[in-house]
Chains A and B, each alone.
Chain A
Amino acid sequence: MKQLQNKLRIVISTIILITGIKAISFAQDSIVAPVLLDIKYFVSDRQAPYLIVKTKIKKERKFLPVKDITVVVFLNEKSNTSTLGKIITNEKGEGKIIIPVSFKSTWDSSSEFTFKATSEPVGKTEALTAEVVIKKAKLVLDTLNEDGVRSIRITSLEKNGSEWKPVKGVEVKIMVKRLLGDLPIGDEESYTTDSSGQIIAQFKRDSLPGDINGNLVLLAKTEDNDLYGNLLIEKNCKWGKPLQDNNDAFNSRTLWGAHFKTPFWLLGIAYSIIIGVWGIIIFLVVQIFKIKKLGA
């Protein structure tokens, strides 16, 4: 009897516990989560530095984008003269601001910046603010080929006054650019710079197809680094397998050939049918004229 009572207690406690947990989670979901504003800094060797502003909301344990939020971004302080730009977030909840050329002198004169993003309250969305402090830094990518072993050397440099100094402990991803995404150059997902601010990583993608000249695009990047943001460097190198010129396929008489390169068999069939049927049509039109002549 006592055993039965104990079992009953366990069952009831379990039910209460599960119901309680569910109730708490439902309660959490039912609370309207605030809209979150985020700002990220990007710099690459091939384009001007830019910022991505993102607005999102947590709903059913997922982050969903919030569109149509107007965000103003400032450099260092909130004032009209330091306004970098104004964007309205798109369907992905994102907006991009390229740092204007007019800020070049400010940009060159300092090595540390604060980006401030603000938005006015709209409807149910309250005023939002976000801030990110960035130290100016860059990556340098060199290709090495020693005794047939191909390697990539990455140097991470931080601007200190007017000098660029190597920094250690920066996590860098080294990849090859492909059509549908970036491919790591070796087995490692990412590498960390040593005390000299360098990484030497072996390139293990020897048989990778490149463009018609065998060019591959190598790239190194930091992702959401707390100090430096998102740094990117790209470099072309002839480490790929040259793509075979397949113009022959288009210049021969195939179904996928260029204009006027229709296969003879298709031309024969198509023109036989066209001539046959239109021959009959001409015959029928002639019959109309014959009938007309008879009635004249």
Chain B
Amino acid sequence: MENSTSITSEIITNDLLPQKFGKLGMIWTGVLIAFCLVGAFAYYLQLKNCLSVTAMRDYVSWGIYISNFVFFVAISLVGSLITAVFRLANVKWSTPLTRIAEIIAVSAILFASLIIIVDMGRPERLFNLFLYGRLKSPIMWDVIVIGTYLFLSLLLLYFPLLPDLKILMGSRKGSTKKYNKLYHFLGSFWKGGRLQNMLNKRAVNVLCVTIIPVAFCIHTVTSWLFATTYRPGWDSTNFGAYFISGAFLVGAGGVLIAMYIFRKAYNLEKYITEKHFDKMGRIVVLLALLYLYFNVNEYLVPAFKMKKSEDAHLTQLFAGDYAPIFWFAILAGMIIPILILIFKKGRKPLPALIAGILVVVGAWFKRYLIVTPTLLHPFLPMTDVPENYKHYFPSWQEWAIAMGSLAGALLIITFFARVFPIIPIQETINEQHETTAK
């Protein structure tokens, strides 16, 4: 028995150790780097010529940078859902997904912080926020809560990684050898003793309990950036819950995509099984239904009253210039994924991947719709302003920076998967032991 267990452990370790990039991996990384470089060049132009290179003007002062920010914050919530909520609920099947969720959370929240700086016309004045920050402003709350969440997410990524670092250091596989210094720096002290394990377990439990309210705070506060500003479309008491439900949905959609890609790229079919797609699919259906419910509340109630100030905004969304994006976001982001994933066959890996992509793309456009059309419909009419103040379509620099930031987040996930095991090795071995013991 012991012999068979040790063989199993060896196979698991071999299967889950980081692998070198193949041809596709190299192309993928190259494309991401290219996007990042174009984004960096566009940002250089923005620094040189200020925000005038963007299409943002007096009315639309929050464009796709802020849409991207909200999107990043939203997707980052998945870390707390998959890792913290499932861990506390003792959901065992989610173990192979925890690290995927956590690295998505860390990269997303990191780029959420960066994109906010990009949105600033004078980034060198960032320190003023800390010198003269006003605790009364939701923007200040957001800065505090994002910093806190980033730190907690890093810790939640780090603690469960400690046992795996020992395995990585002991590995003689060529693909991990060159990172030995890094592994040593991060976890040379991990011996896997009883006390160390106990402290680690306790720390992870404390983190799981702490990160859930902080995760709720981060997206609630982000929603309050809008809801505390008196504008058509944002004047809602429902925004916190609406944003959080949407965030869990896009995060779960993101995990579906990542599951499929890592499974294919690293041949992880034994670990990320069809059962995982089935269960994640069910979760996405539940979250999509919940988010759809909040959307009905957000749009139907104001549309029923059709107050003068809301009229132009809602008409633009339902039947005006923004109608194609609006209906795409509703259909692709919620209804079609529900229709795919509600059936057992739809929860197979490929359809689940398609549903995940629809959820994530729909969610990005949904954030754009939350931010921009509202700004184009202020309560006071726009008078005596240049024509280009009345419309907004992002400039190529904005697109390049936004796409560069998305590529940057994906690049972090890609490099992480190259250096560290994307599925927790020690936890998988432990679970295997438990199953075998039963």
- Least distance between B105 CB and chain A CB atoms (Å): 16
Instruction: Show 9 A/B contacts (Cβ-Cβ < 8 Å), sorted by A.
Output: A255-B136, A267-B135, A270-B144, A274-B144, A280-B210, A281-B151, A291-B200, A294-B196, A294-B199
Main SS of chain B's interface residues? helix
- Least distance between B262 CB and chain A CB atoms (Å): 28
- Least distance between A110 CB and chain B CB atoms (Å): 35
Q: Is A259 an interface residue (CB 8 A)?
A: yes
Instruction: List the A side residues contacting B152 at CB < 8 Å.
Output: 277, 281
Query: Given A91-B386, A281-B148, is A266 in contact with B135 using a C-beta cutoff of 8 Å?
Result: yes
- Name the residue on A nearest B134 (C-beta): A259
Instruction: List the A side residues contacting B190 at CB < 8 Å.
Output: 291, 295
How far apart are the CA atoms of A274 and B195 in the complex, in Å? 30
- Least distance between B209 CB and chain A CB atoms (Å): 9
- Least distance between A282 CB and chain B CB atoms (Å): 10
- The interface size bin for chain A is 20 to 34
Q: Is B173 an interface residue (CB 8 A)?
A: no
Q: Are B189 and A295 in contact, CB atoms less than 8 angstroms apart?
A: yes
Taken residue by residue from 88 to 113, chain A's Cβ proximity to chain B (1 for < 8 Å, 0 otherwise) reads as 00010000000000000000000000
Q: Are A91 and B135 in contact, CB atoms less than 8 angstroms apart?
A: no
Q: Are A291 and B206 in contact, CB atoms less than 8 angstroms apart?
A: no
How far apart are the CA atoms of A281 and B188 in the complex, in Å? 22
Q: Is B162 an interface residue (CB 8 A)?
A: yes
Taken residue by residue from 188 to 211, chain B's Cβ proximity to chain A (1 for < 8 Å, 0 otherwise) reads as 111101011001101100110010
Q: Is B2 an interface residue (CB 8 A)?
A: no
Q: Is A32 an interface residue (CB 8 A)?
A: no
Q: Is A296 an interface residue (CB 8 A)?
A: yes
Instruction: List the B side residues contacting A280 at CB < 8 Å.
Output: 206, 210
Query: Which B132-153 residues have a C-beta within 8 angstroms of A?
Result: 132, 134-136, 141, 144, 148, 151-152
- Name the residue on B nearest A285 (C-beta): B155
Query: Which B379-438 residues have a C-beta within 8 angstroms of A?
Result: 386-387
How far apart are the CA atoms of A189 and B151 in the complex, in Å? 66
Q: Are A284 and B132 in contact, CB atoms less than 8 angstroms apart?
A: no
Main SS of chain A's interface residues? helix
- Least distance between B89 CB and chain A CB atoms (Å): 21
Q: Is A225 an interface residue (CB 8 A)?
A: no
Q: Are B136 and A262 in contact, CB atoms less than 8 angstroms apart?
A: yes
Query: Which A246-296 residues have a C-beta within 8 angstroms of B?
Result: 255-257, 259, 262-263, 266-267, 270, 273-274, 277-278, 280-281, 283-285, 287-288, 290-292, 294-296
How far apart are the CA atoms of A95 and B188 in the complex, in Å? 73
Contact of A266 among B132, B136, B162 (CB under 8 A): B136
Instruction: List the B side residues contacting A283 at CB < 8 Å.
Output: 206
Instruction: List the B side residues contacting A295 at CB < 8 Å.
Output: 188-191, 193, 196
How far apart are the CA atoms of A291 and B187 in the complex, in Å? 10
Query: Which A38-62 residues have a C-beta within 8 angstroms of B?
Result: none
Contact of A294 among B144, B158, B195, B202 (CB under 8 A): B195
- Name the residue on A nearest B214 (C-beta): A277
- Least distance between A176 CB and chain B CB atoms (Å): 20
Beyond known contacts A91-B386, A281-B152: 4 more, CB 8 A cutoff: A256-B136, A262-B135, A270-B135, A284-B207
How far apart are the CA atoms of A162 and B386 in the complex, in Å? 43
Most buried by B among A257, A259, A294, A296: A294
> 9 shortest A-B CB distances, which residue pairs?
A295-B189, A292-B189, A287-B203, A295-B191, A262-B135, A280-B210, A255-B136, A294-B196, A91-B387
- Least distance between A180 CB and chain B CB atoms (Å): 9
Instruction: List the B side residues contacting A91 at CB < 8 Å.
Output: 386-387
- Least distance between B141 CB and chain A CB atoms (Å): 7
Query: Given A91-B386, A259-B134, is A277 in contact with B203 using a C-beta cutoff of 8 Å?
Result: no
